[in-house]
Structure 1
Amino acid sequence: METLANLESFVRSAETGSFSAAARLLALTPAAVSRNVAMLERNTGVRLFQRSTRKLSLTEAGEGFLASIGGNLEALQAAIRAVSSDRGEPAGLLKVSLAPTFGIGHVLPLLPAFLARYPLIRPEWHFENRQVDLIAEGYDAAIGGGFELTPGVISRKLAAADIVAVASPVYLAGRALPATPADLLGHTGIVMRGIRTGRIRQWVMRDEAGQEANAVLNENIILNDPAAMREAALLGLGVTLLVLPDVVTQIQRGELVRLLPDWHADAGPISLYYPSRTLMPAKTRVFIDFVMAAFGG
């Protein structure tokens, strides 16, 4: 019995004339599409494509096979969608990795509404400062920043990750506010040592005119977690550099003050990551749709 993935890869490659174009339609890698087609050829014992570095064309046997599948593939896909709908609501364990500060502050508050809509889903959410291997570790999705897009993983942007300088009103009392990133050296610094690199994180800030300047803090307090850095700043221990979504609530409440308001560093986007699959579980699909809608995506 031939798999649907192999048949889909063959039909879309034939229609587009390219493994790469078929991969984009199927949310797979070109290598995966090529592998599926090769498996189909091996299982049938027939060469379906003539391959060259510049062109992909059907053999005579491939043309006949495509004609015989034709609408049957669409009917099969429709049947699968129908039977999936008949099984009822999305259900099962939803394993998600989340960056702790952003996850707790911005994603966890979405959970009551999500569970009210999908009560048969059981969340297993891991709050961790690391890049997980979605496929090898069995995660349905991950939310964070700076993930390397390995083959088979899709990324969708949730929010910009602008790095800003903040301190508490208690710390700033009686101190001169910095006018440029260089002035940060005149303050007590709360810095982060990267878990993966073991080095102190350094940032280059940019203003609205496009000017750049190094933002160097004194290494008075060294921590390895953004939530701890935010708490240290709230305690009035010094100035720190954090992702704006992690401190925006505290800034709005007046618990933290954004220093150098015209300056920020770019840490890349905070994104939702998930494995590309021909048949995505309903629990994962509705989670992706729910989160993207919540963030305006």
Structure 2
Amino acid sequence: METLSNLESFVRSAESASFSAAARRLGLTPAAVSRNVAQLERNLGVRLFQRSTRGLKLTEAGERFLQSVGAGLDSIQGAIAEVTAKAGEPAGVLKLSVAPRFGREQILPLMPAFMARYPGVTLDLSFDNRPVDLIAGGFDAAIGGGFELTPGVVARELAPAHVILVASPSYLEARELPATPAGLASLDAIAMRSPHSGRVKVRMLRNRHGEEMAAQLKPRVFINDPDAICGAALLGMGVAPLVVADVAQHLESGALQRVLPDWYEDMGPIALYFTSQKLLPAKTRAFVDFLTEALRQQGLAQRYSAI
């Protein structure tokens, strides 16, 4: 009979393709995880991984074995996690990755109340616009958009990520407003180039009736940072496509206004990402429940919707 630690080391290594990433998730050393997997291979009499300097790759036998034991291991660990979570108070370091603006404006103001409720939890916040690998990076949770749902990671939607077109009243004052996305060519645009191709993303807008049309933007200013693009729009430098979450306060104050208010681009959700709920430690479960309830009470999804 194989030990739970050997099976767990194998499954987590397979999910992350790395002994080091699996070790961070399991709280072990990479050497210990490697030994557990090697012992499992000896006991089974088959090689489960092809090892190289680039990482781990499952063999054909390893793929079959993962399909057979993966779900069963989650069930066993889920039962263990449920018992231990109910027995203990949330404690330990909670490592989070948060999109910068959303983190500053929405998450940080909630953290004093969270820390007061759970004094045993220490926060480790990383502000980053790029999606991170939860398992490889050792994060308990991440907040943002565009994350890949790798095996063992789930998402809870917090608000929509709707892109709208905005400009300052001073810029729009003496100009004729377009009636459709095709008319945007008559206005100056503030745009961001793709860091990979150097091209400007084509924005496919839709309206309440389900019609779709490409935004005919004429870039006059190129900026590689959303906050700076917002700043340029506030200065009257042109029309900017930005996520509602980045401009909500300026729309509410009147510093910016929507151009083509019936049109928007759906970029998917702003979500809270974490490992499978069955395996959540008490500190992560407490954070997920606290944050989703707090943002629900604030009506965040409605505030960030372009519809």
1:144 touches 1:270 (CA, 8 Å); kept in 2? yes
- Report the CA distance shift for 1:164/1:83 in structure 2 as closer, same or farther (over 3 A): closer
Letter matched to residue 208 of structure 1: R
Show structure 2 runs of 5+ residues with no match: 9-36, 45-63, 69-75, 302-307
Shift of the alpha carbon at 1:77?
4.5
Deviation at 1:233, TM superposition (A): 0.9
Would the aligned equivalents of 1:194 and 1:201 in 2 still touch at CA under 8 Å? yes
- Paired with 2:101 and 2:198, the residues of 1 have a C-alpha distance of 20
Provide the C-alpha distance between the structure 2 equivalents of 1:288 and 1:83, rounded to a whole number of angstroms.
17
CA distance in 1, matches of 2:94, 2:219: 40
| Residue in 2 that maps onto 1:2 | 3
Matches within 5 A, 1:189-268: 189-195=189-195, 198-268=198-268
Q: Find the residue that maps to 2:137 and give its secondary structure.
A: coil
The alignment's TM-score, normalised by the length of structure 2, stands at 0.68
Q: Distance in 1 between matches of 2:194 and 2:185?
A: 20
Select between 192-201 and 110-119 the one with higher mean Cα deviation.
192-201
The one-letter code sitting in structure 2 at the alignment partner of 1:3 is L
Checking the alignment, whether the CA contact within 8 Å between 2:82 and 2:278 is kept in structure 1 is no
Alignment of 1:63-212 (within 5 A): 77=79, 87=88, 89-195=89-195, 198-212=198-212
- Once the 2 structures are TM-superposed, how far is the Cα of residue 230 of structure 1 from its aligned partner? 1.2
Structure number with larger C-alpha Rg: 1
Contact 1:230 1:242 in 2 (8 A): yes
Change (3 A) 1:138 1:92: same
1:242 CA drift (Å):
0.8
Aligned partners of 1:159 and 1:295 also within 8 Å:
no
Count residues with an aligned counterpart: 243
Change (3 A) 1:213 1:120: same
Q: Distance in 2 between matches of 1:162 and 1:258?
A: 13
Q: Which moved more, 1:189-198 or 1:158-167?
A: 189-198
Q: 1:152 to 1:197 in 2, by over 3 A?
A: farther
Counterpart-to-counterpart distance in 2, 1:198 and 1:286: 42
Specify the SS of the correspondent of 1:267: strand
Amino acid at match of 1:291: L
Partner-residue secondary structure (3-state), 2:209: coil
Query: For residues 266 and 128 of structure 2, what CA distance do their matches in structure 1 show?
Result: 22
- The 1:271/1:194 distance shift into structure 2, 3 A limit, reads farther
Q: Distance in 2 between matches of 1:162 and 1:84?
A: 36
1:92–1:119: structure 2 CA closer, same or farther, 3 Å change rule?
Answer: same
After superposition, the C-alpha distances for 1:61-102 in whole angstroms (9 at most, x for unaligned) are xxxxxxxxxxxx89x947x75655555x42222221112222
Question: AA paired with 1:117?
Answer: R
Distance in 2, matches of 1:107 and 1:197, equals 33
- CA drift at 1:179: 1.4
RMSD: 3.5
* 2: CA distance, partners of 1:295 / 1:197: 36
Gap change, CA 1:195 and 1:121, over 3 Å in 2: farther
SS at match of 1:161: strand
Distance between the aligned counterparts of 2:196 and 2:148, measured in 1?
13
Distance 1:276 1:255, change over 3 A: same
User: Do 2:188 and 2:238's aligned partners in 1 also have CA atoms closer than 8 Å?
Assistant: yes
For the 8 Å contact 1:129–1:225, the answer to whether it is kept is: no
Give the TM-score of the pair, scaled to structure 1. Answer: 0.70
Q: Which amino acid aligns with 1:251?
A: L
